[in-house]
Amino acid sequence: MATVHKINEDLVKERQKCTFNVQELTYLLDGGEEVTKERREFENILRNVKELQDEVPEVYLSHKERYENAVRKTCILQNVRNDFEKKREVLSPRNIFRAGYAVIKDVSPFFLHNGMFVPTIIGQGTPEQQAEWLPKAKAMAIIGTYAQTELGHGTFIRGLETTATYDAKTEEFILNSPKVTSYKWWPGGLGTTVNHCITVAQLYINGKKYGIHPFIVQIRDLETHKPLPGIKVGEIGPKMGFATANNGFLGFQNFRIPRKNMLMKNAQVLKDGTFVKGMNEKLTYGTMVMVRVNIVSDSAFHTAMAATIAVRYAAVRHQSQLKAKEPEVQIIDYLTQQHKLFIAIATSHAFSNTYTWLYQAYLKVVEDLGKQKQDHLPELHALSCCLKATSSRDAGVIVEQCRLACGGHGYMASSNLPIIYGYTTAAITYEGEHTVLLLQTARYLMKAWMSALEGKVLAPSVAYLVDWLKSDKQRWQNTPEVIVKGFQHVAAGKIKDAFDAIQKHVKAGKDYEDAWNLASVQLIKASEAHSRAILCDGYLRETVRTSSSVSPSLAKVLNHLVQLYIVYWTLETAGDLLVYSNIGKDDIAVLKEKYEELLALIRPNAVGLVDAFDISDEILQSTLGSYDGRVYERLMEEAMKSPLNKEPVNQSFHKYLKPFIKKAKL
Ligand SMILES: CCCCC/C=C\C/C=C\C/C=C\C/C=C\C/C=C\CCC(=O)SCCNC(=O)CCNC(=O)[C@H](O)C(C)(C)COP(=O)(O)OP(=O)(O)OC[C@H]1O[C@@H](n2cnc3c(N)ncnc32)[C@H](O)[C@@H]1OP(=O)(O)O
Ligand SMILES: Cc1cc2nc3c(=O)[nH]c(=O)nc-3n(C[C@H](O)[C@H](O)[C@H](O)COP(=O)(O)OP(=O)(O)OC[C@H]3O[C@@H](n4cnc5c(N)ncnc54)[C@H](O)[C@@H]3O)c2cc1C
C-alpha cells in the first residue's frame, strides 16, 4: 500500500485561509463539472497503470532510451484512452492534452499526429479524402505529422523548395527535394516515429508553378517501418527542449504519390492537369490558424503549471526574517515574491478567458467558410497571430519568473520548471515566429487604420480606432473599464504613429516595402499594444459575464485577479499611457497603492487559486509543487535516484582522480 504522508502544515493553514470554494473555480476553469469529472476519472485511471511508472527518472536516460520510453508510454496512453472512450464519451482534446503530461514527462512523439496531422485532413481534405484517411488516422492505424518547414525556410512558406510535379500520364505527383535547403526540418515525430506526413510542397503543372499545397505522403513501410525508396528521413538531434518530440528531417527523390493524395478541399488538380483555384489561397494555411488559437490555451496551462509549483513552494519555504527575533517567514509573505507570482495566476486566467472567446470566433469562421463566406477571416488571422505571439511570449517570461522565484531549487530538473520552460518557449517560435506574427497583425492594423480614416465601419476588435478618432481622450479614472480604454488609446496612438512613419518614408521616396521595414519596430510595438488592449478588454468582459453566474465569494476573487492583471500592465506600460492617454502621474501613484492592496487581497487565496487549477502531482512532476508540500523530502528522494548515488565510490576515482591526486602530491 502506498504510504500516505502528512500535508505540510503551512499548506494546511493556507488552505484554511481560502475565502472561496476551490472546487467551484475548478469547474469554471474546466468548462463545467462534467468536464472536471471526466478529466479526473481519466487521470485516475492513468495513475494506476503500473507500466506508466518510471523506474529510473527520464532525465538519467540516454537520448535514445528516453525516446523509446516515450514511444512505449504513448502507446499505453493511447490504449488506455481507447478503452476509456469505448465505455464513455470521447475525451475532450484539452483533457487528453493535459493527461499526456502525466505520462510523457516532455513532449510526446505522437504530438503532431493529433495536433496537426488529423486536423489538416479535417480542414484541408474533401469529404472523400476524409473518408479514406480519417478513420485510419483517428484509430492510429496510420501515424502522421505536419511537414512544412524546411532547412532553408520556416517563416516564408511561399519560398518552400520541395516540389510536387504533376504527371498527367500516370495521374501522380512526383515529389523532389532539389537542394539541401529544401529538406523538411523540424516536424515532430518525423525522426523515427511516423509512417505518414502532410507534406507542404510547391505545385508544378506543365512547368508552371501554382504555389504551395498540402499532400498526404506515406514515407515508411507499414510493416517494416523502413523508409520507402526515394525517401531520406531521420532525426535532427538534441534541442533546447522537446527532448522526446522526435523532430525529424525528410527529403524526396522522384517519389511518386497518387493524384488523390493532394488535399483538395480548397484548390484542386483535375486528372488532365487542370488547376482549379480555391476560394482563397490562404485557406491552405488553415491548420496554422487553428493551432495558433490553441496555443493561447496551452499558454494558459503552462502558466498555471509554473504558478502552481512556485506558489506552493513559496508557501512552504521559509527564508530570512522580516523582523529580528521573529521566526523566518514564508517567502510568499515578501511583497516582491507576491509581485512575481500573483501575476502568474492572473495571466493564466487572462489566457483561459481569451481562449474561450477566440475559439468561438474560430468556430464561427470555420462555419462561415463552409457557406463560402470569408468576411471574418482577416480579423481572425490578425487576432490569432498577435494573441499566439503575446500569450506564448508572456508565458515564457512567467515560467522563467516562477523559476527565479524558487531560488536555487527552481534550477533543479526535479522542480520540472526547466522542462516547462523548454516547451513554453518553443511555442514562441513554432507555428509562426513571434515577430513575424506581430507583423502579420500589424499589416491588418495598418489597413484598419486607413479604413478608420476613411470613415468605414471596422471589425469589432479594431472598432476602438473609430472611437479614438471621433472623441477627445476620455477623462481618466482609475477604474478597470477606463484603464482598458487607456490601453486602446495606447494601441491607437502607436498604430497611428507606425502608419505615419510608413507614410513619411514613402513621401521621402522609399518603396512601400522599404518604408514598412524602416517602420517595423514601431509596427511590432503597435501590434503588442493592440494585443494587450484585446487581452485586457476580453478578460474584463469575460470576468464580468461569469461573475453573475458564480457565487459572490468566487466573483470577488475573480474580480481581484482581473484588476491585478489590468493594474500590473498599467504600471508596466505607464510610460506609454503617459504619452498616449490622459493618465496623470498622480493616477499612477494611486494605482501603485491599488496594486499593493490587490496583492494583499489575493494573498490569503494564493494557494487556493493554484489548487483550483487542479493539476495533479503526476502531471506537475515537481518536487517543489506537489499538493502535500513535502518539498525537502522529495528533493532528497529524487537526488537519491541519481545513478551516481548507487555506489559509494565511483569508478572514475580509481581511473582518473586517484592517479591525478597522486601526481599532484609529487
Ligand atoms: C501528450 C503530451 C503533450 C505534451 C505537449 C507539450 C508541449 C507542447 C505544448 C503546446 C502545443 C500545443 C498545440 C500545438 C500543436 C502542434 C504545434 C507543434 C509544433 C509546431 C508545428 C509548426 O511549427 S508547423 C509550421 C508552422 N509554420 C508557420 O507558422 C509559418 C509562418 N509563416 C506563415 O504563416 C506565412 O508565411 C506568413 C503568414 C508569415 C506569410 O505568408 P504569405 O503567403 O507570404 O502572406 P503575406 O504576403 O504576408 O500576406 C498575404 C495576405 O495573406 C493574409 N494571410 C496570411 N496568412 C493567413 C492566414 N493564415 N489566414 C488568412 N489570411 C492570411 C495576410 O494577412 C495578407 O493579407 P492582406 O494582403 O489582406 O494584407
Ligand atoms: C520545437 C519546434 C517544433 C517545430 N515543429 C514543427 C513541425 O512539426 N512542423 C513544421 O513544419 N515546422 C516545425 N517547426 C518549425 C517552426 O515552425 C519554424 O521554426 C518557425 O515557423 C520559424 O521559422 P524559421 O525557423 O525559418 O525562422 P526564421 O524565419 O529564419 O527566423 C529567424 C529570424 O528572422 C526574423 N524574420 C524572418 N522573417 C522575417 C520578416 N518577414 N520580417 C521580420 N523578421 C523576420 C525572425 O523574426 C527571427 O528573428 C518547429 C520548430 C520548433 C522550434
**Ligand 1 lined by 294 (C-beta under 6 Å):** yes
Q: Which range, of 312-326, 425-439, 472-486, 565-579, averages the lowest pLDDT?
A: 472-486
pLDDT at 87 over 90: no
The residue-averaged pLDDT of 610-638 equals: 97
Pocket test of ligand 2: the residue of 155, 393, 525 to mutate, having most ligand atoms within 8 Å of its CB, is: 155
Q: Any idea which ligand is nearest the CA of 392?
A: 1
CA of 155 to the centre of ligand 2 (A): 5
* CA-closest candidate to residue 423, choices 389, 399, 387: 399
pLDDT at 229 over 80: yes
Average pLDDT, the chain: 96
CA of 570 to the centre of ligand 2 (A): 31
Unique residue bearing C-alpha cell 522563467: 400
What confidence score (pLDDT) does residue 473 get? 64
pLDDT at 10 over 60: yes
How large a percentage of the chain has pLDDT more than 70?
99
- Which atom of ligand 1 is least distant from the CA of 447? 71
Q: Which range, of 190-194, 523-527, 661-665, averages the lowest pLDDT?
A: 661-665
What confidence score (pLDDT) does residue 512 get? 98
The residue-averaged pLDDT of 599-625 equals: 98
**Ligand 1 lined by 148 (C-beta under 6 Å):** yes
* CA-closest candidate to residue 174, choices 217, 220, 234: 217
CA of 323 to the centre of ligand 1 (A): 54
- Are 419 and 402 contacting, i.e. CB atoms less than 8 angstroms apart? no
The residue-averaged pLDDT of 57-69 equals: 95
Residue 296 CA to residue 298 CA, distance in Å, equals 5
CA of 439 to the centre of ligand 2 (A): 14
pLDDT at 497 over 90: yes
CA of 627 to the centre of ligand 1 (A): 38
Catalytic residue status for 431: yes
The confidence band for 89, taking pLDDT boundaries of 50, 70 and 90, is: confident
Q: What angle do CA 136, 138, 144 make, to 5 degrees?
A: 75
Catalytic residue among 161, 172, 431, 528: 431
ipTM of the complex: 0.96
- Are 388 and 355 contacting, i.e. CB atoms less than 8 angstroms apart? no
Q: What residue type is 571 in one-letter code? A: L
pLDDT at 2 over 70: no
> What is the helix (H) or strand (E) element at residue 211, kind and residue range?
strand 208-218
Q: Which residue, by CA, sits nearest to atom 59 of ligand 1?
A: 285
Neighbours of 92 (CB within 10 A): 16
- Are 113 and 140 contacting, i.e. CB atoms less than 8 angstroms apart? yes
What confidence score (pLDDT) does residue 458 get? 97
pLDDT at 595 over 80: yes
Check: pTM over 0.95? Answer yes or no. Answer: yes
pLDDT at 437 over 90: yes
Q: What is the DSSP letter of 415?
A: G
What confidence score (pLDDT) does residue 74 get? 95
The confidence band for 665, taking pLDDT boundaries of 50, 70 and 90, is: low
The residue-averaged pLDDT of 545-560 equals: 97
Residue 129 CA to residue 566 CA, distance in Å, equals 47
Pocket test of ligand 1: the residue of 440, 446, 450, 527 to mutate, having most ligand atoms within 8 Å of its CB, is: 440
Residue 241 CA to residue 122 CA, distance in Å, equals 29
CA of 156 to the centre of ligand 1 (A): 10
pLDDT at 137 over 60: yes
**Quick one: CA dihedral 556, 403, 414, 347, positive or negative?**
positive
How large a percentage of the chain has pLDDT more than 90?
94
Backbone angles phi and psi of 200, in degrees to 5: -95, 120
**Ligand 1 lined by 302 (C-beta under 6 Å):** no
Pocket test of ligand 2: the residue of 116, 145, 149 to mutate, having most ligand atoms within 8 Å of its CB, is: 149
**Ligand 1 lined by 614 (C-beta under 6 Å):** no
pLDDT at 666 over 90: no
What confidence score (pLDDT) does residue 379 get? 98
What confidence score (pLDDT) does residue 471 get? 76
List all residues whose CB is within 6 A of at least one atom of ligand 2.
Answer: 112, 145-149, 153-155, 186-188, 242, 247, 426, 429-433, 435-436, 439
- Which atom of ligand 1 is least distant from the CA of 112? 16
Q: Which domains does the chain have, with CATH numbers?
A: 38-113 (no CATH), 115-278 (2.40.110.10), 287-460+478-611 (1.20.140.10)
Q: How far is CA 474 from CA 138, 468, 576, 580, in A?
A: 54, 9, 16, 11
pLDDT at 313 over 80: yes
Burial class (CB in 10 A: 0-12, 13-18, 19+), 83: exposed
